[in-house]
Amino acid sequence: MRVLTFLTGILATVLPAPAEEVVKAGDFYLISRQADGTFHGSHQVLEEQAAGYVAVAYCGRKVWVRPKSVAWSLIEVENKRVVGLEYSNGRGWVEVCAKAEKHVSMADIGSDEDPLVVSNDTPAATTPPGSKLSRISEAFANKSSGKPKGTYHQQ
C-alpha cells in the first residue's frame, strides 16, 4: 500500500495538471479552434517580459510570446484551424484579436526559419531523452547496478 501511495505521489508531480487548474482569470493565450469553434490547442502569452519570450503586437496589444508559439499558430492556420488571442475572464474566454497569423509572422520575431522547424525545436537541456515512463523507471533504479530495486522485502 505504501508503494502505491508513493507511486501516486510521483506521478502527480511528473504529469501535467489539467488545463482548468492552470488557467487563471486574466491569463492570455493563443487559442486554436476548429472551424466549428471547438477548442483544439493553446499556447500561453505573457503581458510582461520573460526569458525566452519576444515582444510582439496582436491587434495593437503588446504581449510576449515564445517563438515556438508563433510558429505553432502559423501551422495551426495551415491545418485549417482558426487562431486568435484570447483571455480568460474566469468564466470563459474573450477574444482579443482574431486571425493571429495576420498580425505576427516569423519575420516579426526575427526568424526566417520554417515554422515547422521552430515549432519542433526542443532544446536537449530541457527535455531529457526517452519517454516519461523510462525516466520514471530510472528514478526507481538502483544507481550501482541500473536494475530496479525490487520489493521492500528483497532488500
For the cut 50, the answer to whether the pLDDT of residue 4 exceeds it is no
| Domain of 51, in residue numbers | 20-154
Length reported for the chain: 155
Instruction: Give a yes or no: residue 108 inside a domain.
Output: yes
Instruction: Give a yes or no: residue 112 inside a domain.
Output: yes
Instruction: Give a yes or no: residue 12 inside a domain.
Output: no
- Tens of pLDDT, residue by residue over 81-139, are 999 999 999 888 999 999 999 999 999 999 999 898 888 875 544 445 566 666 666 66
Which one is predicted more confidently, 22 or 95? 95
* Three-state SS annotation for 77-144: HHCCCEEEEEEECCCCEEEEECCHHHCCCCHHHCCCCCHHHHHHCCCCCCCCCCCHHHHHHHHHECCC
Instruction: Give a yes or no: residue 50 inside a domain.
Output: yes
pTM of the model: 0.63
**Percent of all residues in the chain with a pLDDT value above 70, rounded to a whole number:** 63
For the cut 50, the answer to whether the pLDDT of residue 18 exceeds it is no
pLDDT of residue 61: 95
What is the rounded CA–CA span in Å between residue 99 and residue 45? 15
Average pLDDT over residues 42-50: 95
- Backbone angle region of 25, left / alpha / beta, with phi > 0 → left and psi within -120 to 50 → alpha: beta
For the cut 80, the answer to whether the pLDDT of residue 27 exceeds it is yes
pLDDT of residue 144: 56
Rounded to the nearest integer, the mean pLDDT of the chain is: 79
Q: How far is CA 78 from CA 42, 63, 84, 115, 116, in A?
A: 16, 23, 14, 10, 11
Instruction: Give a yes or no: residue 10 inside a domain.
Output: no
Structural domain total, the chain: 1
pLDDT of residue 134: 65
Q: Map residue 55 onto helix, strand or coil.
A: strand
Instruction: Give a yes or no: residue 8 inside a domain.
Output: no
Instruction: Give a yes or no: residue 143 inside a domain.
Output: yes
Instruction: Give a yes or no: residue 105 inside a domain.
Output: yes
Cβ-in-10-Å burial (0-12, 13-18, 19+) of 78 comes to exposed
